[in-house]
Chain A
Amino acid sequence: MANRIPSFLLDRSSPAPLKPDSGRVRVSFVEKGINHLARVIKKGYIHSEFFPRTGFFQKIDPRIKIFFLIFFIIIVSLRKDLLSELYVSIFIFVLVLLSRLKAVTFYRRVLLFGFFFGFLIALPSAFNFVTKGEMILPVATLSRPYDFWIYHIPATIGITKEGMLGVAMLTMRVINSLSLSFLVLYTTPFPEMVRALKILRVPDTFLIIISLCYKYIFLFSKTIEDMYLSKRARMLGEEDNKKAREWTAGRLALIFRKTQLRCEEVFRAMVGRGFSDSIKLYGFGKMRPMDWASGAILFSIGLLFLLM
């Protein structure tokens, strides 16, 4: 082997020492995006690992939590006044504290999503050309009113009291629904949550498909992150977006191929362990008295909100 070592590998001339120059390396948008996405997926899969496991909600059976989630989302959607929504918000806040979740981190996420998917989406309905009513904030004045298809655009465009109440109501509903979902998500490991869907009579086949998909998305996101690292190991500077896109396309093709191969392997592994045409999943054991008690308390509080 020694005689076959190429002469350039025997060149021991050391490169110039590590000396900073004026240039800065910029990472392309595509690369940053891929790496970030892979990290988000990985973190999402193991989210429950990052939160305390000893809080009130963590101790409850996942089936109770799924029931609680659905029941309270129905309550949030049925209530028609802001005050009731506020009471529900306060109740969820108490549950967040009892579950020892970091309230700031929790509400930062809830409010961010609530702002985009609640407030911003509902905002146009605050204007008087969508919701008629008492004008509280004129925004623009046109020379005359316009009629367009089924819409009537008045000469003075502005925000109405009724419209603003509608926006506030929808935003509160979105925020409450998100808080409920995150509360369950952060206090329940993903596999248990999927299994708990059995109480909704979701077929086992569907549950195993969800679990497998999510698991392999997690594994492939790890592969993508490693690919990104391996590219960085041989990158000596920045790369323009065109080259980054080409690299991404190549990686997608490889991931697609790996996915196909893995799919066949998983199927063979399932067949090897007795899979024929139906899937039987192990369910949960009996619920403890504490689970029943927690369920009864949550159900009673929910009824109270509903009848208020």
Chain B
Amino acid sequence: MENIIRLEGISYSYYDQIPALSEIDLEVADGDNLAVIGANGSGKSTLLQIMGGLRYPSKGRFFFREADVSERSLRNKGSLKFFRKSVGYVFQDSDVQLFCPTVLDELLYGPLQLDIDEKEALDRAFEVMKMLNIEQLKNRPSYMLSGGEKKKVAIGSVLTMNPEVLLLDEPTNGLDPKTQCFLVELMFALKDAGKTLVVATHDLSLVDELQARVAVLSEEHRIEKVGGVNEILGDQDLLLRVNLIHEHIHRHGETIHRHIHSHYLFHRHEG
């Protein structure tokens, strides 16, 4: 399958001092379902923001559909329009993403920027609200929404632009189990609809549920390994090394008990 995103030797540091990414090479195929996992501070969000054209690498190159994406190329109106139309970014903190007066305005913002006519934009907004079960919130300001509702609106505001690629930064973080489940189902549906999904997370059970291809970021901000979900999640040494699971010691009466601890590893299906 054709590569939709290609990163070549990407490095990034904050204020030219604090390293966030080091020599990252990564390819994402059209329709792929990729999870970027790593411990806190490993550079997952920075990597996603580079893929979303929101930060520009200090070193290396980023290609979208084999076209070079850089600060310079995105200063061009044609290139910017193509890129923003194709790539949608859902932020970890929904509050920073929602800036319109009401939920409906939020969903209409993207399509109207794309010069889609008002009727079509409204149709898209209502269809997305129906899909996300947020029709009753259409006239509500974003600060009067719960965390889960905000996340749904933030995703909806990107979906109305119908991007080819969806970049989701810690999508299930801080959400209740029901909303988490809803989001996983939504991601499945979007995957089936042919969207390319890139999810940054340290939630291993989410990775398992999504059955995504996995790229593991180390605490040294490098790609440690890229592989299938079973290969990565079955590699306990790797997960220990990158600090995604840890050794846990506790007592059962007089006996000291030691085992690998992870919420994912406790989740086992009986056949």
Contacts and interface: CB of A to CB of B under 8 A. Distances in A.
Contacts of B89: 230, 233
A32 interface: no
Given A8-B127, A21-B76, A234-B84, 8 more contacts: A12-B194, A20-B76, A230-B91, A233-B88, A236-B81, A254-B143, A257-B143, A258-B95
A264 interface: no
13 contacts: A1-B188, A5-B192, A8-B162, A15-B85, A21-B78, A24-B76, A25-B74, A223-B93, A233-B88, A234-B110, A234-B113, A234-B158, A247-B99
Nearest to B64: A18
Contact of A236 (B75, B114, B157): B114
Given A4-B131, A23-B78, A247-B99, A234 B109 contact: yes
Contacts of A23: 76-78
Contacts of B194: 10, 12
A220 B76 CA distance: 31
A227 B75 CA distance: 20
B87 to A, nearest CB: 8
B189 interface: yes
Interface residues of A, number: 44
Contact of B84 (A4, A14, A233, A247): A233
A280 B51 CA distance: 47
B73 A6 contact: no
Contact of A25 (B76, B130, B131, B188): B76
Contacts of B91: 226, 229-230, 233
Nearest to A223: B96
A187 B145 CA distance: 45
Contacts of B84: 233-236
Contacts of B83: 18
A21 B109 CA distance: 24
Contacts of A200: none
A2 interface: yes
B159 interface: yes
Interface of B: 15, 17-18, 49, 52, 54-55, 64-65, 67, 69, 73-86, 88-89, 91, 93, 95-97, 99-101, 109-110, 113-114, 123-124, 127-128, 130-131, 143, 157-159, 161-162, 164, 185-186, 188-190, 192-195
A50 interface: yes
A274 interface: no
A7 B120 CA distance: 12
A24 B74 CA distance: 9
A232 interface: yes
Interface string A19-57: 111011100000000000000000100100110000000
A163 B15 CA distance: 43
Contacts of B18: 49
A237 interface: yes
A233 B54 contact: yes
Nearest to A247: B99
B99 A231 contact: yes
B143 A251 contact: no
A229 B131 CA distance: 27
A11 interface: yes
B104 to A, nearest CB: 15
A17 interface: yes
Contacts of B67: 17-18
A14 B76 contact: no
Contacts of A247: 99
B97 A50 contact: no
Given A43-B15, A227-B99, A231-B99, A17 B193 contact: no
Given A9-B193, A235-B113, A21 B54 contact: no
